[in-house]
Amino acid sequence: MREMILASNVDDRKKALAKLLPYQKGDFAGIFKALKGLPATIRFLDPPLHEFLPHEEPAQKDLAAKMGVPVEKIQQRVKELAEFNPMLGFRGCRLGIVFPEISEMQSRAVFEAAAEVQKSGVKVKPEVMIPLVGFKKELDLQVEIVHRVAKQVMAEQKVKLDYMVGTMIEIPRGALTADEIAQTAQFFSFGTNDLTQTCLGMSRDDSGSFIPAYQDNEIIKTNPFASIDQTGVGQLMKIAAEKGNATRPGIKLGICGEHGGDPASVKFCHRLGLTYVSCSPFRVPVARLAAAQAALEEEAEAKDKPARTASKAKR
């Protein structure tokens, strides 16, 4: 990965990515085998590239020695990649648009792994997820790469693969233009961590200094990074769900983020029509329980509705 980041031209970057391909392919093959035919959602590269390089001089010197390059080269690249606000900077689908060869490598790793596992007799269902999309054109450019590489791999491996391509809805523009994005996206996964940050203009990492005061002053009832702000962030999710369904009826909707382990958030997502949760492993039992409770509450409400209607009719 670091060799790819340090590359100064496309050819060198492709050579570095070719070395990464077997590792990515191996990881994906392991996932497909373990899931035994269940859908596997694979998010393309999302973090800003500077996160993969050390920022302290001792670590930079150590890396330079291991890679056999001058430490100045690493320091220069770190300087070039520096951003004032990296979470709103060069990350997500922006990486794949500027460096399409990254998306090409990841696509090939996904589909070569899928072909290999499917040939072994295990069903596979890859769901490629493009992160940080706010413009339909961003998604179109990335999806074109995914479909092109998938077609190439299927021809090379003489196999037919069943897959989907969707996106994360994690910035307000993506939610507000979900009807356009759903023309291309086959599923939405709400990235509620980033959607909360971009909707509220609050950094999850820095909000601890004022969130307690906000709760004491009843500006907010709960920490919005622990439980979805249903009035604000939730409104964006509702708009996206409705617009997505208007364009692509029955579009697959889910949530990806730590909110997925919060019972109140899970129940809210259930009411919006979301059907799956992706969260940290230790949160899965809580998410499953909350989902079951939401389904039972909905069922009880449906049964109670005719009774209330009949009672009103008698009066």
- Residue 314 has a pLDDT of 59
State mean pLDDT over 230-245: 98
- Residue 313 has a pLDDT of 55
CATH number of 2-48+98-314: 3.20.20.60
Is residue 233 within 8 A of residue 272, CB to CB? The reply is: no
Least confident range of 11-15, 158-162, 288-292: 288-292
Identity of the residue numbered 258 = E
Which residues lie below 8 Å from residue 130, measured CB to CB, with a gap of 6+? Answer: 44, 93, 96, 138, 139, 142, 143, 165, 166, 167, 168, 185
Q: Where are the domains of the chain?
A: 2-48+98-314
Q: What is the mean pLDDT of the chain?
A: 93
Query: SS in 3 state form for 73-121?
Result: HHHHHHHHHCCCCHHHCCCCHHHHHHCHHHHHHHHHHHHHHHHHHHHCC
What's the pLDDT band for 309 if we cut at 50, 70, 90?
Answer: low
> What are the start-end ranges of the E strands in the chain?
39-43, 125-130, 164-169, 187-191, 252-256, 276-278
- Residue 310 has a pLDDT of 55
**pLDDT tens profile 249-262:** 999 999 998 898 89
**pLDDT tens profile 99-145:** 999 999 999 999 999 999 999 999 999 999 999 999 999 999 999 99
Identity of the residue numbered 312 = K
- Residue 45 has a pLDDT of 95
Strand-pair partners of 125: 39
Answer yes or no: is pLDDT of 312 > 80: no
Is residue 91 within 8 A of residue 43, CB to CB? The reply is: no
Eight-class DSSP state of 171: S
Is residue 44 within 8 A of residue 93, CB to CB? The reply is: yes
DSSP per-residue letters across 43-79? EPP-S-GGGGS--SHHHHHHHHHHHTS-HHHHHHHHH
State mean pLDDT over 275-299: 88
User: In a 3-state reduction of DSSP, which class is residue 34?
Assistant: helix
